[in-house]
């Protein structure tokens, strides 16, 4: 499985997302999967990569949390979780996306 974590330096949420993603991979039995970090630095890169905010997690090139209405942007992303809105999906949401 190809796992990418797209982020930009202006948003700290990607650090939490990476930690949760590692936990989720372990729970899903994919602890050996490598997470590729992709630093997005310009609006042009955001557009080219389909980066809809930091963090963006791609599993085999697909963003399991995208609704299709988002626009590429260098911004912190907000996710809907069972606990409310947050800067990263929960471990449980990530495990579900990995299944």
What is the tens place of the pLDDT at every residue in 53-84? 999 999 999 999 999 899 999 999 999 999 99
Angle formed at CA 94 by CA 37 and CA 75, multiple of 5 degrees: 50
What is the tens place of the pLDDT at every residue in 11-56? 999 999 999 999 999 999 998 999 999 999 999 999 999 899 999 9
Taking the CB of residue 5, how many other CB atoms lie within 10 A of it?
Answer: 19
User: 51 with 72: CB under 8 angstroms?
Assistant: yes
């Amino acid at each position: 499985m190809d796992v990418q974590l797209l982020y930009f330096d202006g948003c700290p949420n990607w650090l939490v997302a990476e930690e949760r993603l590692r936990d989720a991979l372990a729970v899903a039995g994919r602890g050996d999967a490598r997470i590729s970090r992709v630093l997005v630095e310009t609006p042009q890169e955001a557009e080219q990569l389909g980066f809809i905010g930091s963090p963006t997690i791609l599993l085999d090139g697909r963003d399991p949390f995208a609704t299709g209405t988002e626009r590429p942007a260098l911004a912190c992303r907000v996710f809907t979780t069972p606990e409310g809105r947050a800067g990263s999906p929960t471990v449980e949401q990530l495990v579900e996306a990995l299944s």
